[in-house]
Each structure stands twice: as C-alpha cells, then as structure tokens.
Structure 1
Amino acid sequence: MKREFRKKVISERKKQSPEFISKNSSIIVDKVLQMDCIKKAKTIMLYLDFNNEVQTDDLINKLISLRKTVASPITLKEEKKLIPTQITDLKNGIKIGAYNIREPKLECSHPIDIKDIDVVIVPAVAYDTNCYRLGYGGGFYDRFLENLRPDAKTIGIAFDLQIFDEVPKEPHDAQLNFIVTESKTIIPNK
C-alpha cells in the first residue's frame, strides 16, 4: 500500500512544470523564513532538494546570510544513518551522494552534533493533515528524528498536491510540528 501510494504521489510531483516548482518553492521559502522557530533557531538542518521536491537552495542561502548554522545530511547507506553536516557554500561544498541526492562534501565542512540542532526541515513524498509524513521508504529520517532534543522543532515543506487526509503510517513514523505548503501552514491536532 505504501509503495503504490508513494509511486502515485512522486509521479504527480514529477509532472509539475519547472515554473510551478520554482514559483511555489519561493512562496514556501518566504513563509518558512517568517516562522518564529526559524527566527529563533541557531542551527537548522534541511535537505538538498531533488526530483521536483520543494527547492531548498534559496532557503539555505538566506539562512546562511542570516548567520544561522545550516546543515544537510550525509547519508550512510549501509548504516541507514544521516550525519548532519554544515553547509557554508552551495557552489563548491556539495557533491552527489547516496541515491543521487546532493550532500555536503565532508572535506569542505564538519559534522554537527544532533543535540545542537534547533529545527529540522524534513523531506517527504506526502504528508497528512495531522503532520505525519510518508518518506521514501528507507526510514533514515524516522530514525534521525527520534534522537533530536525534545524541544527541537520539525517542519515538513511540501506542495499542496502532497497533502492528504491520511497517509499510510506505522507506529514508528514521526509526527512533525508543522507542515508548510504554498497555501497553508498545518499544525497537528494533539
């Protein structure tokens, strides 16, 4: 069930035009930058987009210009682990890593302690209206989020087409604090 659902949503996202992705990513980035938890955060981890996800390069550059410590994960495929690593330069400090996803070059940066992270902006295939996510199936982020400080915030960013009343989920799936789309900000019913 998860696999079919995932395939359908990814296929729908891939159909979107570059203009749609760019315009709506820009709206989402502006909304994220207005969030209190982002304004107060010192260290923010977020993904490097691929495959028609909400684009994050502009957000990364703006956060760096606001003097935030910005990290993205290096994926250790065999260990099924994410290593948060600081980004200071999107042009020269990035390489193609596991699953063909961009990630920081370790030689250009250094790992960040998970306990120093104030906010994580999480990728997903789909979200539901109660802030649960359907990831890509590896469980990397679910395992990572379990180890955050209790007061760290989690934000999903997505296009409206990725939001559903319900997504297939399991007991270990993490509930996020917020989801931001081009038209709304969703907070879970606790």
Structure 2
Amino acid sequence: MKKEFRKKVISDRNNQNYESLCKNSSIITQKILALDCIKKAKNIMLYLDFNNEVKTDELIVKLLSLGKTVSSPITIKEEKKLIPSQIIDLKDGVKIGAYGIREPKPECSPEVEVKDIDVVIVPAVAYDKDCYRLGYGGGFYDRFIERLREDAITVGIAFDLQIFDSVPKEDHDAQLDYIITESQILTPNKF
C-alpha cells in the first residue's frame, strides 16, 4: 500500500507545471522565513531539492544572508545515516551524491553537530493533516529526527497536492511540528 501511494503522489508532483512549482516554492519560502522558530534559530538544516520537491535554493540563499548557519545532509547509504554538513557555497560547494540528490561537498562543508541544530526542514512524498510524513522509504529522516535535541523544531514543506487526511504510517514515523504548503500552515493536533 505504501509503495503504490508513494508512486502516485510522486507522479502527481512530477506532473506539475514548472512555473507553478517555482511560484509555489517562493510562496512557501516566504512563509518559512516568517516563522518565529526560523527567526530565532541560529542553525538550520534543510534538504537540497530533487525531482520536483519544493525548491530550497532561494530559501538557503536568504537564510545565509540572515547570518544563519545552514546545513544539508550528506547521505551515507550503507549506514542509512544523514550527516549534516554546512553549506558555505551553494554554487561550487555542492555535488551530486547518493540517489542522485545534491549534497554538500565534504571537503568544503564542515560537519555540524546534530545537537546544535535548532530547526530541520525535511522532505517527504506526502504528509497528513496531523503532521505525519510519508518519506521515500529509506527511514533516513526518521532516524535522524530521533537524534535531535528535544526542543529542536521539525518542519515539513510540501505542495498542497501532497497533503492528505491520512498517510500510511508506522510506529517509528515522526510527527513534525509544522507542515507548510503554498496555502496553509499545519500544526499537529496534540490535544
């Protein structure tokens, strides 16, 4: 069930027109920058977009211009592990890594301590309205989120077409603090 669901959502996401993908990514970027947790954060980790995900380059440039420490994960496939590595130069400090996803070049991107991260912006295939995510199936982010400080904030970003009443989930799947789309900001109903 998870596999078919993933496939359908990825297909829908890939069928978006490029102009609206860019426009909606910009809207989402502005909403993220307006969040208090982002304004207060010193150290923010986020993904480098891939395969019609919400575009993150504009957000990275703006966060760097605000003096934030910005990192992205280097994926260690064999260990199913993400290593947060500082982005110094988005143009020349990035390469294609595991799974064909852009990641910081290790030689010019110092590793960031997981306990120093204030906010993590995570990718996903889909989210539900209670802020659970359906990832790509490797469990990399679920494992990573477990290692964060208790007060670290987790933010999912997605397009409206990736939000559902419920998504297939398991006990180890992480519930995020926010989901931001072009039209809404969701927070979990924890009451």
TM-score (normalised: structure 1): 1.00
Unaligned stretches of 5+ residues in structure 2:
none
RMSD between aligned alpha carbons?
0.3
Residue 182 of structure 1 pairs with residue 182 of structure 2: yes
Aligned partners of 1:161 and 1:35: how far apart in 2?
Answer: 22
SS of alignment partner, residue 28 of structure 2: helix
Residue identity opposite 1:17 in structure 2: N
Unaligned stretches of 5+ residues in structure 1:
none
Q: Which residue pairs with 2:21 in the alignment?
A: 21
SS of alignment partner, residue 3 of structure 1: helix
- Report the Cα offset of residue 147 of structure 1: 0.6
Q: Which residue pairs with 1:169 in the alignment?
A: 169
Matches within 5 A, 1:130-141: 130-141=130-141
Deviations 1:139-190 (A, max 9, x none): 0000000010000000000000000000000000000000000000000000
Q: Which residue pairs with 2:112 in the alignment?
A: 112
Q: Which residue pairs with 2:50 in the alignment?
A: 50
Aligned partners of 1:45 and 1:33: how far apart in 2?
Answer: 14
Q: How many residues align?
A: 190
Matches within 5 A, 1:93-112: 93-112=93-112
Q: Which residue pairs with 1:158 in the alignment?
A: 158
Deviations 1:107-152 (A, max 9, x none): 1111000000000000000000000000000000000000100000
Runs of 4+, deviation exceeding 3 Å: none
Q: Percent identity?
A: 74
TM-score (normalised: structure 2): 0.99
